[in-house]
Structure 1
Amino acid sequence: MKRTALIVALACIAAQAHADTDFARARAIAGEHACLGCHAADKKLVGPAYRDVAARYSGQSNAAALLVKHVQQGSAGVWGNVPMPPNRIDTADARLVVNWVLAGAPDH
């Protein structure tokens, strides 16, 4: 039941303001910046799964801005003891990747 609720929540997130997100470009940017070395869409690697990030920040109006800040400046203690290092990424590219993550990191 919890999995079904999560799937429904993620579908709702994807249908929100992320309709204009170029998912293929966002995934390419994530690859270029080594994000995919620590994160995967559906399973924890070094960092949390993107779908877990989407679920945690679902419904939070400041989620995108907060996550862009985490991507660019790094963060510590948000998902455990392993810190996320800062990433040298353009703000527009960071927003695109964050919107993709908040949409559940779809492949299409």
Structure 2
Amino acid sequence: MKLKYLFFGVALVSLTSFSNDNLDTKYSVATKKSNTILQSPDGEKLIAKSDCVGCHKLDKKLIGPSYLDIAKKYASNEKNVNYLSEKIIKGGAGVWGTIPMAAHASLKKNDAKSMAIYILSLKKAS
């Protein structure tokens, strides 16, 4: 009986490893100048470790806008990556409502850029 469960478990794990559900093919950020794709494998991890999750969610508005709403609002280019990374570091208010976003002054500029690139990468590729 234990051998049957072991075999079933191995078969299940093997079959799920062949899944075609790959988020990297669904979402991308293309710059208009060069059609290159901006990617940041660390952006998602940095956001998960920060206090961003207290105010933002992937697909729902909490205190601040969802990451998907941000990605829809801003074009995928270097100018907006720089703008958003500055907003992450300096904070601000007025763009999404009256509640201000807290500053993250201790965050490194490259980390803020990685976060901004990740957020913009959530825009569905057409």
- TM-score w.r.t. structure 2 length? 0.65
Structure with a larger share of its residues in helix? 1
Q: Is the Cα contact below 8 Å between 2:72 and 2:123 reproduced in 1? A: no
Shift of 1:15: 4.5
Call closer, same or farther: CA 1:50–1:78 in 2, change over 3 Å.
Answer: same
Give aligned pairs, total. Answer: 92
Find the aligned partners of 2:78 and 2:111 in 1 and give their Cα distance: 20
Match of 2:119 in 1: 101
Find the aligned partners of 2:76 and 2:46 in 1 and give their Cα distance: 25
What is the root-mean-square deviation in Å for CA atoms of aligned residues?
Answer: 2.1
Find the aligned partners of 1:41 and 1:68 in 2 and give their Cα distance: 18
Q: Is the Cα contact below 8 Å between 2:68 and 2:119 reproduced in 1? A: yes
Shift of 1:58: 2.0
- Taking the TM superposition and a 5 Å limit, the aligned residue runs for 1:12-51 are 14-16=28-30, 17-18=37-38, 20-22=39-41, 25-51=42-68
Find the aligned partners of 2:66 and 2:91 in 1 and give their Cα distance: 17
Structure 1, unaligned runs of 5 or more: 1-10
Match of 1:7 in 2: none
Find the aligned partners of 1:95 and 1:33 in 2 and give their Cα distance: 14
Structure 2, unaligned runs of 5 or more: 1-25, 31-36
Call closer, same or farther: CA 1:82–1:61 in 2, change over 3 Å.
Answer: same
Aligned: 1:62 with 2:79: yes
Percent identity (aligned): 28
Q: Is the Cα contact below 8 Å between 1:39 and 1:50 reproduced in 2? A: yes
Find the aligned partners of 2:77 and 2:64 in 1 and give their Cα distance: 20
Shift of 1:53: 0.3
